[in-house]
Amino acid sequence: MDAGDNFAYMLPVMMLTFACAFLVVARWGSRPALAWGMGYLCAGCGFAAPMVMSAFPTVVMALTADTLLLGAMYLFGQALLIQFGMPSYAALRMSICLVGGMLVTFAVLGRQSLPAELILHDLTSSLMLAVPLVAIRRRLQQPIHKALFVIVSLVVLDTMIRTAITAAVMAPSADTAGFIGSPYAFYMQATASVLGLVLALVALAAVTLDVVATYRDAAEHDPMTGLLNRRGFERASPDAARGRPSSGAVISCDIDHFKSINDGYGHGAGDNVIVAFAQMLRSHLPQHALAARFGGEEFVAYLPGHSAHTASLVAEGLRRAFNARDWSDCGIQRSITASFGIASPQPGDHSLHDAIARADTSLYAAKAAGRNRVMLGEQVVRRAGSALAAA
């Protein structure tokens, strides 16, 4: 068995193996993995067609392989667009695929020209991958996505080089039997093997990392409010270890008499109150602030680079807005209030949790003082005109 035979067998086996790997990842909810998997399935079947269809007429074998390989390129483009959250451009890409497929069919049946078939097939494949490449070029944020962009660009470049070689060196009278044993066929199979392998590895890494990121995001966010949960907050917040506390302020807040809302109006109404408070908290916080639901009706926010005074203003604005909200849309015919405690990291803190503990102490003081207020240390904060006073 010569090198060409080795490539002929290796290509479909390799691509079908990666198709299975992508389809396994797709079971975890990855739409790009499904498109990549179906693309590699088509590619594997396309490269296997000359071997499994040897008893069929040559034109049937050629059209079957060409159709499957064009379908693979269409699906690869679809996978790229899904991966980067882009529109499908389905009309444009499908038009390229259909027109290219008809021209390839004419080259096989009408002209019976192998060079024309290869040139038209490669040009169509290049165009179907070029469309998503142009679309995603400004969305390359992560290193793995940049690597994916580079390898797909190399696939397009390799395809264009093959087109030029075909046009320059292949005789118009070349037939399929002579082509299969030619150096050009060996080059095509060799580059397809290498680039197909690298593309599969990079694409598989990209979709796997995206799946992991999705599950990590779900594990670190509260499903009801979309805010960070305690675990997510700890991962996102700075560590004040080594005696160097981060600058900023912490707000600890709690919805007052929340149990009475659940008891009097039902847990559905209570959930609506929690979601509304989370939305208001998010809208009142400055940019780059972290907000988390620590459990039940308890929330914590960290304002990096802001003073306790600024945090007090933010909390007071949120307190007033929450107190003034009309809850009749939730079936609640009374006002609902919240209490807030403020603290800042201090020298000697081991982590941000030390500041959170002090904010919790202030929150408990606000509850003990009658609720519906903001406490900074042991002082009640309230707005008087544009000034912040303590009483």
Which of 48, 65, 51, 38 lies closest to 13, judged by CA? 48
Active site residue 297: yes
Residue in this structure with the two tokens 């675990």, named with its chain if needed: 231
d(CA 43, CA 31): 18
For residue 192 the two structure tokens come to: 């397809």
Q: Residue 352: what pLDDT?
A: 87
Model-wide pTM > 0.75: no
3-state secondary structure 166-180: HHHHCCCCCCHHHHH
For residue 228, give the 3-state DSSP assignment.
Answer: strand
Instruction: Report the pLDDT value the prediction gives residue 387, as an integer from 0 to 100.
Output: 39
- 267-284 vs 308-324: helix axis angle to the nearest 10? 140
Q: What is the pLDDT of residue 386?
A: 37
Q: Which helix (H) or strand (E) holds 63?
A: helix 58-83
Q: Output the pLDDT for position 177.
A: 52
* Sequence-distant (≥ 6) Cβ neighbours of residue 223 within 8 angstroms: none
Q: Where are the alpha helices (DSSP H) in 170-255?
A: 176-180, 183-219, 230-236
- Residue of 267, 278, 272 whose CA lies nearest to 222: 278
For 176-210, write each residue's pLDDT tens digit: 555 555 566 666 777 777 888 899 999 999 999 99
Residue 138, helix vs strand vs coil: coil
- Taking the C-alpha atoms of 201, 205, 207 and 211 in order, what is their torsion angle to the nearest 10 degrees? 150
**For residues 344 and 355, what is the distance between their CA atoms, to the nearest angstrom?**
6
What b-and-e string marks burial along 306-329, b requiring 16 or more CB atoms within 10 Å of the CB?
bebebbbbbbbebbeebeebebee
Choosing from 297, 298, 316, 378, which is the catalytic residue?
297
Per-residue confidence (pLDDT) for residue 54, from 0 to 100: 81
Strands of the chain, DSSP E = 248-255, 290-295, 298-304, 338-343, 374-376, 379-384, 387-390
For the chain, list the domains and their CATH numbers. Answer: 3-219 (1.20.1070), 230-390 (3.30.70.270)
Residue pair 246/345 in contact (Cβ under 8 Å)? The answer is yes
> CB count, 10 Å around CB of 194?
12
Q: Which residues of the chain have pLDDT under 70?
A: 1-8, 169-187, 239-246, 378-391
Q: For residue 240, what pLDDT is reported?
A: 45
CA distance 231 to 290: 13
Report in angstroms the alpha-carbon separations of 220 from 245, 359, 360: 24, 22, 22
Which two three-digit tokens encode residue 51?
């071997």
Distance CA 40, CA 109 (A): 27
